[in-house]
Amino acid sequence: MINRTFLSAYLLLAATVIYANDHTLLQALYDHNVVKHGAFIFRSGQKSSIYVDMRNAISSPSLLTQLAHSLNALAPAKKYDRVCGVPYGTIPLATALALERNEPMIMLRKEIKNHGTQKRIEGEYKPGDRVLLIEDVITTGGSVREAIDLLEQQGLIVEDVIACLDYQQGSVEKLRDLGYPTQALYTIADIINHTENTKYTHNLTYAQRAQTSCNVVSQKIFAIMEQKKTNLALAADVTTTQELLSLAELLGPHICVLKIHVDILTDFTPLFIEQLKTIAQQHTFLLMADRKFSDIGNTTQLQYTQGIYHIADWADLVTVQALPGAGILASMQQATQCADRAVVLITQMSSHDNLASSAYTNRAIAMGNEHTDFVAGLIARTAITPNEPYFFMTTGIHLSTQAIADQTYLTPYEAIFQNGTDIIIVGRAIYESPDPIATAIAYKNAGWEAYQKRIGT
Ligand code: 5IU
């Protein structure tokens, strides 16, 4: 074993801090249920309010790729003869990294096969090969040490160790002392800090938030949720007015918001809007036009108020992209001059590989913060800001987190309980189901139970 200098240890530490600031990846770990909130008890008996399950990352190709990118950036800038993952949990990640680096891989066996070659290492290698070793989470460091022993027994040289998470049990420092430069993308303290920053509204009820919010539409929505005991919004992406009116009539009692794409209707008439408004009043839900306005202020103002849809006349809520900057909000607000019209600002999206980086998300929130009288809510995967006036709406919701095309799904429990958002927006899972009423009730109950658990009842 080679003993490294203090200086290299210091440089490694500095690098760790730099990569720990990558909040996009950290956020993705939450979004994909790698980091979970709750009450957990470790094998040691120690209690924790968060739990990190790195293995869940393998179910998301985008997250696995993102992790491989970040680990690649974290690894020392040199070539290795072999990339190897600590068995067995880290093998998928090591594969992703080996492909990204275009370097050969080997695989360790924990047990010797009692048939065949009795090999402990799969793949081709020769004594003296220099290895980059990957671990997902370093706790005691025992698995890393075992892997190093195995590799060294076969004459391989472990040059560097990189990991996703350092549980800060002193093992990373111990490995460095033994001569294995070790770095991690995050420490458990990074994860806890991030978690603390997202927990602000967890214990407030919707009724309390209706009282504390300064936005009229926000107050309305919180009051409706409390009264109807539902945080379910229906995304009714159907293409005829008849289908849409039937869905509104059928599911109206179970929802707080009906979200529509008015421009996908093939037979739109102004009369349809009158009919929809009547149903919304009868069943007490708000109308949301998911128009995703994104042009310069003047054009958006015209799109909002003119054309054949006259959205500003009937939509309680409209979605707006933050991309054009604050001018879009000012010009829309000027066009309505009406306190019961509001915006839901898009700060994050649910589509795979969308471009909303954490820097973009933060700037979008800052933009909303300047207009809280008009911005009532945020579209987000996680309740990302300590500002209470907002309600957080989450798209991409499914009871089974199966993937459909480019959509990334969270369960109602993950969105409401774990990620602290307020409203689940559900589309195909409900209106394409054989029994939309029963399915809507199932989603309503799941969303409500998650909320009750969050507020502690
Ligand atoms: N929608 C998303 N993701 C987003 C945003 C909006 O899915 O990030 I902003 C819309 C698209 C569709 C609905 O109208 O929400 C989700 O429909 P499904 O539940 O059928 O995937």
| Residue bearing tokens 């080997």 | 106
Choose one of 291, 350, 401, 439 to mutate for the ligand 1 pocket test, by most ligand atoms within 8 angstroms of C-beta: 350
**What are the DSSP calls for 348-370, one per residue?**
---BTT-S--HHHHHHHHHHHHT
pLDDT number for residue 204: 86
Looking at ligand 1, which residue's alpha carbon is closest to its atom 2? 395
Q: Which amino acid is at 451?
A: Y
Helix residue ranges, H only, 201-261 = 206-212, 216-228, 241-251
Ligand 1 interacting residues, C-beta cut-off 6 A: 235, 237, 290, 319, 346, 349-351, 379, 395-396, 407, 425-429
Overall residue count recorded for the chain in this entry: 457
**386: exposed, middle or buried (C-beta count within 10 Å: 0-12, 13-18, 19+)?**
exposed
The SS3 assignment for 293 reads: strand
Q: How far is the CA of 7 from the centre of ligand 1 (A)?
A: 50
The SS3 assignment for 120 reads: coil
What pairs with residue 318 in β-bridges?
289, 343
- Of the candidates 391, 322, 392, the one whose C-alpha atom is nearest the C-alpha of residue 363 is 322
Helices 327-336 and 297-305: crossing angle, nearest 10°?
A: 30
pLDDT number for residue 20: 35
Looking at ligand 1, which residue's alpha carbon is closest to its atom 8? 349
Query: Contact 395/389 with Cβ under 8 angstroms?
Result: no
Q: How far is the CA of 408 from the centre of ligand 1 (A)?
A: 10
| Dist. CA 170–CA 176, nearest whole Å | 10
Please report, to the nearest 10 degrees, the dihedral formed by the alpha carbons of residues 204, 210, 211, 212 taken in order. 70
Atom of ligand 1 nearest to the CA of 348: 8
Residue partners of 170: CB distance under 8 A and separation at least 6: none
Beta strands in 307-439 (DSSP E): 317-321, 342-346, 375-379, 391-394, 423-426
Q: How far is the CA of 426 from the centre of ligand 1 (A)?
A: 8
| Dist. CA 27–CA 418, nearest whole Å | 13
Where residue 405 falls (left for φ over 0; alpha for ψ -120 to 50; beta otherwise) is: left
Query: Contact 159/80 with Cβ under 8 angstroms?
Result: yes
- Of the candidates 256, 258, 257, the one whose C-alpha atom is nearest the C-alpha of residue 245 is 258
Q: How far is the CA of 308 from the centre of ligand 1 (A)?
A: 24
Q: Show me where the domains of the chain are located.
A: 4-197, 203-454
pLDDT number for residue 236: 98
Kindly report whether the global pTM for this prediction surpasses the value 0.85: no
Helix residue ranges, H only, 397-435 = 412, 428-431
**Domain 4-197: CATH architecture, name and number where available:** 3-Layer(aba) Sandwich (3.40)
* Catalytic choice (199, 292, 444, 453): 292
DSSP 404: B
- The answer to whether 453 is a known catalytic residue is no
Choose one of 395, 397, 401, 402 to mutate for the ligand 1 pocket test, by most ligand atoms within 8 angstroms of C-beta: 395
List the pLDDT tens digit at each of the 457 positions of the chain.
333 333 333 333 333 333 333 557 887 887 788 887 666 666 556 666 677 888 889 988 989 999 999 999 999 999 999 999 999 999 999 999 999 999 999 999 987 666 666 789 999 999 999 999 999 999 889 999 999 999 999 999 999 999 999 988 889 999 999 999 999 999 888 887 776 655 555 678 999 888 878 789 999 999 999 999 999 999 999 999 999 999 999 999 999 999 999 999 999 999 999 999 999 999 999 999 999 999 999 999 999 999 999 999 999 999 999 999 999 999 999 999 788 999 999 999 998 888 988 778 888 988 998 898 899 999 999 887 665 578 999 999 999 866 676 788 899 999 998 888 999 999 999 999 999 999 999 999 999 999 999 888 7
| Dist. CA 272–CA 309, nearest whole Å | 11
Looking at ligand 1, which residue's alpha carbon is closest to its atom 5? 349
Looking at ligand 1, which residue's alpha carbon is closest to its atom 18? 427
Q: How far is the CA of 349 from the centre of ligand 1 (A)?
A: 8
Query: Contact 374/332 with Cβ under 8 angstroms?
Result: yes
- Structure tokens that stand for 204 in this block: 């407030």
| Residue bearing tokens 């249920």 | 33
What fold does the segment set 203-454 form as a domain? TIM Barrel (3.20.20)
Q: How far is the CA of 399 from the centre of ligand 1 (A)?
A: 15
